[in-house]
Amino acid sequence: MNLETRKVGFKSYYLVVFFLAALAAVALLTLDNGSGIVEKRNMGVAANNKAKAESNEEKIIELVSECNLFSGRWVFGKASSSSSSSSYPPYEEGQCSYMTPEFACQRNGRPDSKYQGWKWQPRGCDLPRFNGTALMEALRGKRLVFVGDSLNRNQWVSMLCLIESSSSLRHSTVIRDGNQFTFHAPEYNSTIDFYWSPLLVESNCDDPMEHKVKQRIVKIKAIEKHGRHWTDADILVFDSFIWWLQPSMTILWGGSFSPGSSDASYKQVVEGMEKRVYEMALDTWSDWVEFNVNRTRTKMFFMSLSPMHPYGESLDVLQHCYNETEPTLEEDGYRGRRRVETFPDDFGLIAQSAIQKLARRGVRVEYLNITHLSDYRKDAHPSIYTYDFQKEADPRKRSRHSDCGHWCLPGVPDVWNQILYSYIINSSS
């Protein structure tokens, strides 16, 4: 009996081992097939996403070539909880890590927020939704530089806020080196810089922090000090208008800005000469662009004049956009009903002429005419709700010295960047 029992136990042992081995083999086959299914599924998703991205790029290319993105109207599309393209604003002021105090109107006490909910609607088409991931892919291994004054910095901050809100890009610290402020995205080996050069050429206003001087001095034929920082850029976005509107300015020929420079020659700019001086500065800029920028590699853009709104609803009241809470919706825009001298169209024509001359010399610069679309938005300036004006205790003085040149964020510069984004995607495809 004991022997039989042992034989049965021995056979049972091998049956159990055989059963477990077979079960393990089935499990391995199932796991392998499952991995293959998952891998194929992931490949399918990746291919589908790539196809969607390519399809989106094709639509943007077609849009830029066939639609005038600068002609249209503002429509109200206040933020929804959905992620559709109708959601507005594209980001929240308090959630942007790169927001600076002068553009943070809500933080500075602005009581209304409707100005954030207006969308630009081009005629006959839709403005492409800003896609931070798509932009960073287009900028992979590249350098984008905004060059100009505080309005270009306004646009640069907007760009960083848009990227942060529409991509998985991790937070990056902005580093200052002299006139340059650099946002580095190591995942893409790319940088998005702002370079302070308000007059493009050299001046005594070139310190990005200490540039408020009583008498502006411009070295009209000198640009290399700034330009050498731009030569390796893949995309350049220029802007220079507002700083040329000051009636009192001095031209410096040769020498340095230091008082008592022996070889310096000065020429006082009198009223009526401002446009000629601006033209001379753009000639210097154009020459530098022609001989220093790799025209087959570097894409260049020039932003048109950003309008100011120093007058309220009544032409008799110089209230500096204070208490303006609604855009102008008339077809002719704000400027059609306001004092023309506050909108120097001649400066825009001078810039366009310089760009056309460059084109004849084989250098392409895209002129992004954002003036008219921005002109409707008298409601979207910081007014008294900016960092500097919070220091003024007397509300009457604050209303008379409102900031009607810069823009609250989120706001109008986001639309400029949506348009710029469309052109960048178009040029990189």
- Give the separation between CA 253 and CA 266, rounded to whole angstroms: 6
Judgement on whether residues 116 and 62 belong to the same structural domain of the protein: no
How far is the C-alpha of 304 from the C-alpha of 225, rounded, in Å? 24
- Is the pLDDT assigned to residue 380 strictly greater than 50? yes
Average pLDDT over residues 15-31: 49
Q: Which residue of the set 158, 403, 414, 422 is catalytic?
A: 403
CB atoms within 10 A of CB 8: 10
State the pLDDT at residue 171. Answer: 78
* Nearest to 373, CA basis, from 418, 339, 342, 340: 418
Catalytic residue among 226, 309, 381, 406: 406
pLDDT at 258: 61
Residue 420: pLDDT over 80: yes
Q: Which of 19, 34, 66 delimits the end of a domain?
A: 66
Q: What domain range includes position 194?
A: 73-428
H or E segment and range at residue 107: none
Question: What percent of the chain is predicted at pLDDT more than 90?
Answer: 55
For the cut 70, the answer to whether the pLDDT of residue 195 exceeds it is yes
Order of strands across the sheet that contains 174-177: 174-177, 180-185, 190-196, 143-148, 235-238, 299-303, 365-368
317 CB burial (10 A radius; 0-12, 13-18, 19+): exposed
pLDDT of residue 304: 96
Same domain, 47 and 84: no
Residues 99 and 25 placed together within one structural domain of the fold: no
Residue 210 has pLDDT above 90, yes or no: no
- Taking only the tens place, the pLDDT of each residue in 216-244 is 899 999 999 999 999 999 999 999 998 99
Length reported for the chain: 429
Mean pLDDT of the chain: 81
- pLDDT for res 417: 98
- For residue 66, the model assigns a pLDDT of 79
Note whether 253 and 312 are same-domain residues.
Answer: yes
Q: Tell me, what's the pLDDT at 260?
A: 58
| 121 and 1 part of one domain | no
Count of the separate structural domains present in the chain: 2
Least confident of 17-31, 154-168, 252-266: 17-31
- pLDDT band (50, 70, 90) for residue 55: low
- Same domain assignment for residues 47 and 92: no
More confident position, 345 or 150:
150
Is-catalytic flag, 320? no
CA quadruple 205, 211, 216, 218: dihedral, nearest 10: 0
Same domain as 36, residue 16 = yes
Q: Are 98 and 183 in contact (CB under 8 A)?
A: yes
Extended beta strands in 60-215, E state: 72-76, 118-122, 143-148, 174-177, 180-185, 190-196, 202-203
Say what the pLDDT of residue 381 is. Answer: 95
Please give the residue that has the higher pLDDT: either 389 or 79. 389
DSSP 325: -
Catalytic, 403? Answer: yes
Do residues 135 and 49 both lie within one domain? Answer: no
125 and 48 together in one domain: no
Q: Per residue in 323-338, pLDDT tens?
A: 899 998 876 555 444 4
The one-letter amino acid code at 236 reads L
* Model confidence pLDDT, tens digit, residues 108-120: 999 999 999 999 9
Last residue of a domain, one of 66, 84, 106: 66
Tell me the three state secondary structure of residue 372: helix
Q: From the candidates 150, 158, 167, 190, give the one annotated as an active-site residue.
A: 150
Q: Pick the residue with more confidence: 402 or 262? A: 402
pTM over 0.85: no
Co-location of 356 and 221 in the same domain: yes
d(CA 91, CA 103): 14
Which one of 59-73, 182-196, 254-268 scores highest in mean pLDDT? 182-196
394 catalytic? Reply is: no
